[in-house]
Structure 1
Amino acid sequence: MRASNLGFICGLLLCVGSVQSVAQPHDTQEYEQLRQFLQQSIADSESFEDRFDAEVWLLDMSNRLQQYVKDPEQRLQLLQEVHRYASQSQLPPELVLAVIEVESHFDRFAVSRVGAQGMMQVMPFWKDEIGRPEDNLTLTSTNLSYGCRILQFYIKREKGNLTRALAAYNGSLGSTRYSDKVEAAWRRNWRGPNLDWE
């Protein structure tokens, strides 16, 4: 992705939904906190520090992703984007892959019953809220940027508690159903460096 495109993405206000529910801020204060956090997103950075690390990770994850994305070139392109946006948002890319599996099974055209779109199931009303109605949520780069930033926000807000953060992402705070699904997907297909699922 061109650097100019990456630059504007960092300032986006993001929100996600899911097949089961709409993940919206519950009150005005949370909404404003989310807006401020997302407007102060971290600067762009290269996601891989070492070419060898990149090759090892991409090969490993490409083999795992093959069941969902058959074309090898598409797999590598998707994995590069997942790694880039996850890293920019200080998220383990393996966690993002698990979220995508649960949300859409890697279908960039997925639409939930409540209208959430794309791989990470982003709610389209946010495009108008931030004055970017032209954003296309089926574009993988846009969708990953939205989804990763909002997940980063909830993980920070919940002080690293993945169960609570994932429930907030999904709009099901107080339930472990969604976080259990993501953890199961991570353990089954995307396990990487240890994550604290407690």
Structure 2
Amino acid sequence: MFEMQYITSRVHRFLHRFFYLRHDYDDEYSIWNFCPTTIWREFTAMLQSSCFCRTALFPMVYWLVVFISLYGAVINCYEVLQMWRDPCGKFTVWRQRHFYVMDQMVLRKVRLLSSSIYQVAWFMLIYGIVMVSPNSMAPWILVTSAVLSVEVFIWFFEVITGILAINPQTLLSLFLHVYFLGMVCCVKSVFEVALAEQAEYSLRII
């Protein structure tokens, strides 16, 4: 009887930790308080509150985001057109990587689909910047965050398993992508504040 009660109590505690809601725990720091939406909000808040989102630096951040967004949309559109025009041509990637399962034709179709989705996200980002629409910027932020998360995970896995060596160019590329994501989040947060205070007139290009 003692052993059965001990086992059932342990199972009960295990299930309690995994299936009960977060508010059942009063501790601020707990390894069981895992909520993806909370983590996402904390991550975006960290990016939005970084040093490059200060008032004095915002005009520079804003125009950098404008020009880099236009450049990114043009480059992505050029890549999509190249893949349509030359189905057998060699395509480039922005970091060193290895593919183990998919062949070139499947990779090309996946790349074409992802580039097309990204193109829509780029156009929505540009529209959101020009028209002061934070909601239009959200798809680009979501797609870029997902892509970067997967890229960093795969790159880190390949480095620790010895498949790839640490390449300074890859580190710089990852850093620049994350930094630009932070700048876009900064602009989006300023837009949200301006719209709430009905002061978006000072942020409109047209």
So what's the TM-score if we normalise by structure 2? 0.29
The structure with more radius of gyration: 2
Higher helix residue share = 2
